[in-house]
Amino acid sequence: MVLVISPTLVPREKHGKYMAVVPSVFAIASVLGPILGGAITTHSTWRWVFLLNAPGGAIAISLVTIFLPSSGDLKLAARLSSKFSKASFHRIDILGVLLLLAASVLLVFALEEGGARYSWRSPAIVSTIVLAGVIWITFFCWEYYVDKLESAQEPIFPLRLLKDRVLVGLLSTGFLLGFPFVTIVVNIPQRAQAADGLSPVRAGLALLPLLLCSAFSSAFPGILTMKLKIHHMYILMAGAILQLIGVGLSSALPTTTDKIAVQQYGYEALMGVGFGLQMSTLTIFAPLIVKEADLAVTMGAITQIRILGGTIGLAICSTILNDHVRSRLKSLITPSELVDISNSFSAIEALTPVQQAAVRTAFAEGYNKQMQVMIAFSGAGFLACLLLWERKARSVG
């Protein structure tokens, strides 16, 4: 929602300056989450990780309800009434939202559980994949119908936007950016616990180089595009290259050490700068390539497709890790011990020293394999940036 309304809150010539703030906040929140989560689960129950979202969400909803849109001509009651009117609800593409949610959940479920809880040929996985495909097709058909229908209802994603090559490139870049970003944010702390034997709090702190570099670099695209007039495509390509180098180097981290390799922090810094440059540039560039009427849905689509890419990427990486660890350890530990380790990495401490070393090595190898797969998605993200080429660069201000 923040990305959707941000372009309408500031003048066009100030987009670069203010839109760079939003990705910085997102990057900080994304990396601080695992750190705070590790601290909470260490000193309390994991349920507090979810319960603490309630007061924060309540505050956010209250602020949005009261202050957006801000108008001195309307009293609070009138503003609330306008927000929750029948006309407002008639504009919502409820069926489109439900179809998108169902298709995404089913696809992620199949990718994550296939080869783990169920075999890939099991009826549960096959039927889920088929059903997800049918719902995806239904979603696109429905969006096409709603877009052509002359009514107050607004499609969640008008398919006519896909006629714009530059917008397709922007969405593709955002989608492919989500794969390594979410995977790395989640798996670096997990690797620190499973392979390096760190506590949840220290594992979360291992993300700090990524956090600091991502937040810091998010401020640069606005300056580069507004002051130096550098084409957005080149900034996205630079971010993709740094991301690709960082992911590639991370795929070759040592697998036989009992502590975090020092070079990992440098690799995180490279990836963090790449992520920051790309996330910020995506939000700055989007308002320049669509009409104002399509701006809200475009900003929402960029956010949604990045999250979808990250969710799919995480599911793929979970399958890779589970398959590798299970095949490497099936002759060393019992199935029940493997289940205990899957539920909590602290269960590794209950094994014999020889078993512990084998388990930590297997996990380290599995995480390296994940990064090898992410190299392909990072490379594809670089190629997607080429779709953004224009003879005459569009200016922010």
Residues 118 and 231 in one domain: no
Residues 259 and 190 in one domain: yes
Q: Answer whether residue 34 is part of any domain.
A: yes
Q: Answer whether residue 75 is part of any domain.
A: no
Residues 296 and 353 in one domain: yes
Q: Answer whether residue 68 is part of any domain.
A: no
- DSSP codes, 270-334: HHHHHHHHHHHHHHHHHHHHS-GGGHHHHHHHHHHHHHHHHHHHHHHHHHHHHHHHHHHHTTTS-
Q: Answer whether residue 323 is part of any domain.
A: yes
**The pLDDT of residue 108:** 86
What's the domain range around 132?
92-153
Residues 102 and 136 in one domain: yes
DSSP label of 159 = G
Q: Is the dihedral of CA 98, 101, 103, 105 positive or negative?
A: negative
Residues 237 and 96 in one domain: no
**The pLDDT of residue 103:** 93
Q: What is the rounded distance in angstroms from the CA atom of residue 358 to the CA atom of residue 62? A: 51
User: Last residue of a domain, which of 104, 126, 153?
Assistant: 153
Q: Answer whether residue 81 is part of any domain.
A: no
**The pLDDT of residue 245:** 97
Mean pLDDT of successive 10-residue segments in the chain (397 residues)? Answer: 68 66 70 72 72 82 72 52 62 87 90 78 91 95 86 81 91 95 90 88 86 86 79 92 96 86 94 92 84 83 90 90 89 86 85 90 94 96 92 64
* CA distances from residue 394 to 272, 280, 349, 388 in whole angstroms, order as listed: 26, 16, 57, 11
Q: What is the rounded distance in angstroms from the CA atom of residue 16 to the CA atom of residue 138? A: 37
Write the CB contacts of 109 (distance below 8 Å, at least 6 apart in sequence).
Answer: 128
> Quick check: 258 and 195 in contact, CB under 8 A?
no
**The pLDDT of residue 345:** 86
CATH of the domain at 315: 1.20.1250.20
Residues 107 and 25 in one domain: no
Q: Answer whether residue 128 is part of any domain.
A: yes
Q: What is the rounded distance in angstroms from the CA atom of residue 228 to the CA atom of residue 206? A: 34
User: Last residue of a domain, which of 153, 174, 196?
Assistant: 153
Residues 130 and 44 in one domain: no
**The pLDDT of residue 271:** 95
Write the CB contacts of 44 (distance below 8 Å, at least 6 apart in sequence).
Answer: none
Residues 202 and 279 in one domain: yes
Q: What is the rounded distance in angstroms from the CA atom of residue 380 to the CA atom of residue 74? A: 49
Q: What is the rounded distance in angstroms from the CA atom of residue 278 to the CA atom of residue 2? A: 18
The residue among 128, 132, 115, 124 whose CA lies nearest residue 317 is 115
Residues 133 and 174 in one domain: no
Residues 137 and 172 in one domain: no
Residues 238 and 332 in one domain: yes
How many domains does the chain fold into? 2
Q: Answer whether residue 43 is part of any domain.
A: yes
Residues 342 and 269 in one domain: yes
Q: What is the rounded distance in angstroms from the CA atom of residue 273 to the CA atom of residue 242? A: 7
Q: Answer whether residue 384 is part of any domain.
A: yes
Q: What is the rounded distance in angstroms from the CA atom of residue 39 to the CA atom of residue 48? A: 11
Q: Is the dihedral of CA 38, 40, 45, 47 positive or negative?
A: negative
**The pLDDT of residue 299:** 85
User: Last residue of a domain, which of 131, 153, 175?
Assistant: 153
Q: What is the rounded distance in angstroms from the CA atom of residue 216 to the CA atom of residue 270? A: 12
